[in-house]
């Protein structure tokens, strides 16, 4: 028999009608989730490295002398503070040079007056 239920042309072969389903049974739908769960359980180099670094991250930072983002932020704050101090010192230097040149002119004027 064919899909339509008619007998096939070959003698001796008996065909039975097959029921077709539009939707997979629930067990098959659950099995479609298996590759993802299997994939999560299969060890990979990437997962192994992630686990290793998570476990020993602080030791690696200490041993290799690496900087954390907190360390970098502290250094950046320190550099900004030093730049501010340098700018302040340069301004003070200009003020001192101006005062010195004024004092030097006054001394020359006094020397010329006293002679």
Could you read off the pLDDT of 38-47 as tens digits, one per residue? 666 777 788 8
**Helix H segments across 32-68?**
34-41, 45-64
What mean pLDDT is predicted for residues 39-64?
A: 84
What mean pLDDT is predicted for residues 1-30?
A: 57
Contacts of 53 (CB under 8 A, 6+ apart): 60
Question: What CA–CA distance (Å, rounded) separates 67 from 82?
Answer: 20
Helix/strand/coil for 7: coil
Question: What CA–CA distance (Å, rounded) separates 1 from 13?
Answer: 8
């Amino acid at each position: 028999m064919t899909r339509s239920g008619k007998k096939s042309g070959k003698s001796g072969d008996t065909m039975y009608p097959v029921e077709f389903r539009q939707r997979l049974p629930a067990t098959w739908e659950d099995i479609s989730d298996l590759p993802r769960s299997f994939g999560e359980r299969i060890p990979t180099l990437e997962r192994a490295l992630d686990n290793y670094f998570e476990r020993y991250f602080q030791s690696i930072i200490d041993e290799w002398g690496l900087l954390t983002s907190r360390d970098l932020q502290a250094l950046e704050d320190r550099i900004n503070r030093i730049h501010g101090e340098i700018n302040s010192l340069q301004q003070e230097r200009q003020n001192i040079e101006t005062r010195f040149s004024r004092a030097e002119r006054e001394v020359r004027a006094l020397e010329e007056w006293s002679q």
